[in-house]
Structure 1
Amino acid sequence: MHSVPNGIPVSIVIPNYNYARFLKRCIDSALGQDYADVEVIVVDDASQDGSAAIIKSYGDRILACLRRGNGGHAAAFNTGFAASSGKIVLFLDADDYLYPDAVSRIVDTWDAATAQVQSRLHIVDEGQRIKDVFPPPELPFDSGDVMPKLLHKGRYQTTVTSGLAFDRATLESIMPIPEKEFRQGADGYLVTLAPLYGHVQSIDECVGAYRIHGANHSVFGEKLAERARWRVSHDFRRMEALSDQASEVGMAVVPSEAFRHDPVHLEERLASLCADRRRHPVADDSRLALAAAGAVASFEMTASLRRRAVLAAWFLSVGMLPRQMAMAVLSWKLEASSRPAFLARMSKTIRHAMG
């Protein structure tokens, strides 16, 4: 579908908002690629910290796009893409960074049918100490034509912004990203629609670092209900966009049916309902019905039987236990910091045993 030979121009778009303390590491990693034909575009989304001065210090080594008003993730993506020229486009979050061979690996993985390349990332803390891998190695990426899985369950195994690269023609078919609906989570929009236009190729090695810290959207701390509600609503917006785009290319998706097969969505929906029923976005949900659907969906996963069985048991526990106990079981899985010490020590052992 798409022909991308070696030597093709690549654009790295860095959306930034108030990440001055991480920005230099990020930009330096983009400029430090061992692949020659790379342009680096930095979009500042009206930061209030020292970001503008850092961006200015790079002069013409980068293309700077300084937005006058804060528009969020999608607006920054749209601005950066409009300014880019590469046939392959990476979106690199400003608090993350790439390893020097990231672009070379992506180009080497590309073929004529590729719409998207996805890679694992090291999870690092604020001091760049490696803590883990995302997605976990025991969860295999979905590759090739992922549309059957996407239409069936509304999701496939992918990664976050900084582990993604897209074919320009694909992005031209699905952008601009709706800015109000995807003020946060713009990468979710892209990975949901890109497979309509080609194959997904996967790199199992880590090509960069995904930084977890107290200020980024991936960390909600104690706000389990808020996080779950946001993710449920984000899924609804993703599936609405997929349904609209799929109909344009002669495919059909039924969001309500797809959600029944998606344990990730059902997990967050159960968390939202259990943690704060009053603000839960789906009025007629019940804990038991969500738990039962989650248990069934668990056994459809691409994972070991042990992992699937443990997840199914977790769903049933949250669905059937008294609410206070269910909340404890929920938080132990979704928020590592809430686990009792003995569970924290056991978690990695259990995770590897389930791989």
Structure 2
Amino acid sequence: MCTRHPVLSPSARGEMSVSVAMATYNGARFLEKQLDSIVSQTVPPSEIVICDDASSDGTASIVGEFAARSPVPIRFERNAVNLGYADNFFKAASLTTHPYIAFSDQDDIWRRDKIERSLAAIRDGGAVMAVHTATLIDAAGEPVGEMRRHIDGSRTVPPCTLEPWTMFWGFAQTFDRRLLDLLPHDRATRGSDSNAPENALGHDGWTSFLAGSFGKIALLDEPLVGYRQHSANVFGFQNRNFVGKIRAKMADEPSRVRRVAWLVDIALHRLTMLDAHAADDPRFVAPVAHWRRIHRHCAARRDLNTSKRALGRVGHLAVNLARGTYRHPSDGGLGVDRLMEDATLGLLGHLRFGAN
């Protein structure tokens, strides 16, 4: 198991200072309130690094005026051309100078103890990343719901024990900056997003992958950010339970099967990439073994879901069960949700769509 091998060890307790890495793009509407919430933290950040992605509104002016009165040092960089949200976040992170990094959107509101609670969770759990839940707020800042995003309670999870495609939103992350030194973070190395393979994996998907593979993650069941929902969001939020997810997949069975297949390619990319950079570094032993298992499990699911015969699918399901494909992720499998999907849609989908 992953926990028996060396992983990224926690930083010394005396090095708990945080840099905020913020990416902006035409964010003038809500930016000042977000900056106010950051500099008003019970444990303030040591610096705020803001990279602006060629905005055409008043973002730069707001940052300049705020920086002049800010009790926290602010570094502002303007991109000559638009890099896109993920590469802009990576640029901001690369310019930070402190041991821990907290990603920040331009339009949220942080609870006053977000940094304090995140650092405490990292310290107490010996973790390399802390993530938390959020309150959904509207454009006026009023609560409209909650966002849990894979967090079912406060706990610390060992490396290589989360569902392999787990991604925590960037605004919820505080992490050890050494994660970014483990591997290059160019688009070719990051590979494809598991939900949209035509896109490169985003900044928060990449850091989730690194933290989940190389260290412990502290989950905080505390809404430490007001995550703003409005018409200009790059990404909004949909909160579906398992039944809702199954219904969505039923509505487009061919797309579901294509996703099962492309996850094989993404798992292989991660395995190959990790293996290529491992050299003699013992920290890579467990992640390589973990992603080799994930690739094998994903290939087994692809074979089941693309089989043209009902009996063939039943046989594949039996073999997958015997080989541990659907064990809990903490035991090296893909989890019961994938079993339920394959036992329902995987076995019956071919009947609905006319396969022989």
Alignment of 1:18 with 2:54, yes or no, is no
Q: 1:37 to 1:12 in 2, by over 3 A?
A: closer
Alignment of 1:169 with 2:178, yes or no, is yes
1:136 Cα deviation from its structure 2 partner:
5.5
SS at match of 2:123: coil
SS at match of 2:131: strand
Give CA deviations for 1:273-307 in whole Å, capped at 9, x if unaligned.
x9xxxxxxxxxx458869949987555257xxxxx
Amino acid in the other structure paired with 1:253:
A
Alignment of 1:249 with 2:281, yes or no, is yes
Residue 64 of structure 2: aligned partner = 56
TM-score (norm 1): 0.65
2:328 to 262, 277, 300: 300
Structure 1: how far apart are the matches of 2:128 and 2:307?
Answer: 38
1:196 Cα deviation from its structure 2 partner:
5.3
1:100 Cα deviation from its structure 2 partner:
0.9
Gaps of 5+ in 2: 1-8, 191-199, 239-247
1:107 Cα deviation from its structure 2 partner:
2.1
Alignment of 1:46 with 2:51, yes or no, is no
TM-score (norm 2): 0.65
1:28 Cα deviation from its structure 2 partner:
2.4
1:117 Cα deviation from its structure 2 partner:
1.8
Amino acid in the other structure paired with 2:145:
K
Structure 1: how far apart are the matches of 2:259 and 2:229?
Answer: 18
Residue 195 of structure 2: aligned partner = none
Amino acid in the other structure paired with 1:164:
Q
Residue 199 of structure 1: aligned partner = 216
Q: 1:248 to 1:194 in 2, by over 3 A?
A: farther
Structure 2: how far apart are the matches of 1:26 and 1:234?
Answer: 35
Amino acid in the other structure paired with 2:31:
L
Alignment of 1:86 with 2:91, yes or no, is no
1:166 Cα deviation from its structure 2 partner:
1.4
2:100, 2:176 within 8 Å by CA — same for their partners in 1?
yes
SS at match of 1:103: helix
Question: How many residues get paired?
Answer: 300
1:245 Cα deviation from its structure 2 partner:
4.3
1:216 Cα deviation from its structure 2 partner:
2.2
Pairwise CA RMSD of aligned residues?
Answer: 4.4
Return the structure number with greater relative CO, CA threshold 8 A, min gap 6.
2
1:324 Cα deviation from its structure 2 partner:
9.9
Residue 339 of structure 1: aligned partner = none
1:80 Cα deviation from its structure 2 partner:
1.4
1:17 Cα deviation from its structure 2 partner:
2.7
Q: 1:121 to 1:241 in 2, by over 3 A?
A: farther
1:125, 1:131 within 8 Å by CA — same for their partners in 2?
no
Residue 120 of structure 2: aligned partner = 108
Q: 1:171 to 1:97 in 2, by over 3 A?
A: farther
Residue 317 of structure 1: aligned partner = 344
Structure 2: how far apart are the matches of 1:109 and 1:57?
Answer: 34
Amino acid in the other structure paired with 2:111:
Y
Q: 1:115 to 1:322 in 2, by over 3 A?
A: closer
Amino acid in the other structure paired with 2:118:
I
Structure 2: how far apart are the matches of 1:320 and 1:135?
Answer: 29
Structure 2: how far apart are the matches of 1:205 and 1:73?
Answer: 26
Amino acid in the other structure paired with 2:81:
G
Q: 1:21 to 1:242 in 2, by over 3 A?
A: farther
1:209 to 219, 226, 244: 226
Amino acid in the other structure paired with 2:105:
D
1:34 to 35, 42, 49: 42
Amino acid in the other structure paired with 2:234:
N
1:200 Cα deviation from its structure 2 partner:
2.4
1:249 Cα deviation from its structure 2 partner:
2.4
2:135, 2:145 within 8 Å by CA — same for their partners in 1?
yes
1:21 Cα deviation from its structure 2 partner:
3.2
Structure 2: how far apart are the matches of 1:145 and 1:115?
Answer: 10
Amino acid in the other structure paired with 1:146:
P
More moved, 251-260 vs 116-125: 251-260
Residue 186 of structure 1: aligned partner = 203
